[in-house]
A = this chain, B = another copy of it.
Amino acid sequence: MSYNSFGHALRMTTWGESHGPALGAVVDGCPPGLALSEADIQPYLDARRPAQSRFTTQRREPDEVRILSGVFEGRTTGTPISLMIDNVDQRSKDYSEVARAYRPGHADYAYEAKYGFRDYRGGGRSSARETAARVAAGAVARLVIPEVAILARVVEIGGDRAEGFDPDEVARNPFFCADADAARRWEALVDEARLAGSSLGAVVECVATGVPPGWGAPIYAKLDAELAHAMMGINAVKAVEIGDGFAAARLSGEENADRMRPGEENGDSPQFLANHAGGVAGGISTGQPVVVRVAFKPTSSILTPVETIDRDGNAAEIMTRGRHDPCVGIRGAPVVEAMMALVLADQKLLHRAQCG
């Protein structure tokens, strides 16, 4: 019931606001004896780091992580790992407008309805900056599942879908896109939105290979339910699919059944002739790649004035000045990877608890 913790056997608790002094994650339950230093985490933070291209926010944060506990002589001790990232570029600005009125599409009104007031500087706790803590924790989770490879990529921006798939391409363009052609098209698309003071949505697909059969649980700790929870909990996410997702609802039972054949050699794992299920059946992994697709809404912060009300209930207009991602889904890709890693590592440990 902890509001800011995630996971069961491997559990992270995150803290911090957009404009506070720092943010962080405490990772608990990590197996002991794993080699861990800041160098294992930093590359993932660098991938998510803002201001690396004109297609993301220009807030300049080094996002340097420090490990404050849980590691001794270069190895995890089994005690909580405290990760901290300083906020550096909280540009001083005038927040009086945001303090006074609610930005539609943002959490402003909902926060205030819940808590009675809100930290309005840069969105406070509702800022996507919190996801830096997840990415750091996700890097630790990856160490728990060395058998698994995870790749997230943006497959659609503003309704324009990428078709090609070259995994090496993902790191070569600023969009985490596996299709060089689409990446080129998206440059123009995102530029246009950015210059118009508008914003775009995106779809991210994440595939985890190497997950053995048997992770997950039949009912409320289903692997797919945990993934849905993890992904829908990312800022700006509005939809989650496993495997074929909504398209599965349009298949017949025969089309949807992932037929099985014996493995090539005696003792090999079975072969599946398709993966409509996205690697999960009955809440438990099947040994096929685990496939998740996640929809990000367009960034709520836009330069166009929008009708709203102020804190006294009067009609007002507001427009969000300041630095923002024109398409928050782009930087969502490393966050989706981190959440995938956290869920899988947790499920590995849970499986080990019950089934040895």
Contact = CB atoms under 8 A, between A and B. Distances in A.
A26 interface: yes
A68 B193 contact: no
Contacts of A20: 68-69
A297 B256 contact: yes
A31 B355 contact: yes
Contacts of A322: none
Given A245-B238, A263-B313, A353 B356 contact: no
A5 B241 contact: no
A295 B248 CA distance: 8
Interface in A305-320: 306-309, 313-315
Contacts of A222: 232-233
A237 B224 CA distance: 9
A278 interface: yes
A17 B232 contact: no
Interface stretch (A43-51, A53-61, A173-181, A281-289): A281-289
A68 B248 contact: no
Interface in A125-150: 125-126, 130
Given A262-B309, A300-B256, A221 B353 contact: no
A55 to B, nearest CB: 15
A79 B218 contact: yes
Interface in A15-52: 15-17, 20-24, 26, 28-33
A25 B54 CA distance: 38
B78 A355 contact: yes
Interface in A218-255: 218-222, 224-233, 235, 237-246, 248-255
A125 B1 contact: no
Tallying the copies of this chain within the complex gives 4
A264 B254 CA distance: 54
A80 interface: yes
B239 A32 contact: no
Contacts of A69: 15-17, 20, 22-23, 125
Contact of A239 (B226, B245, B329): B245
Given A105-B277, A107-B281, A33 B117 contact: yes
B270 A130 contact: no
Q: Tell which of A248, A257, A351 has the most Cβ of chain B within 10 Å.
A: A257
A98 interface: no
A250 B263 CA distance: 41
B202 A249 contact: yes
Given A109-B270, A199-B252, A248-B238, A259 B308 contact: yes
Given A115-B32, A218-B126, A352-B352, A109 B246 contact: no
Given A78-B354, A126-B282, A249 B297 contact: yes
A88 interface: no
Interface string A155-171: 01011000000000000
A121 to B, nearest CB: 8
Given A3-B218, A105-B281, A225-B229, A304 B201 contact: no
| Nearest 4 pairs of A and B residues by beta carbon | A107-B282, A201-B249, A113-B213, A199-B253
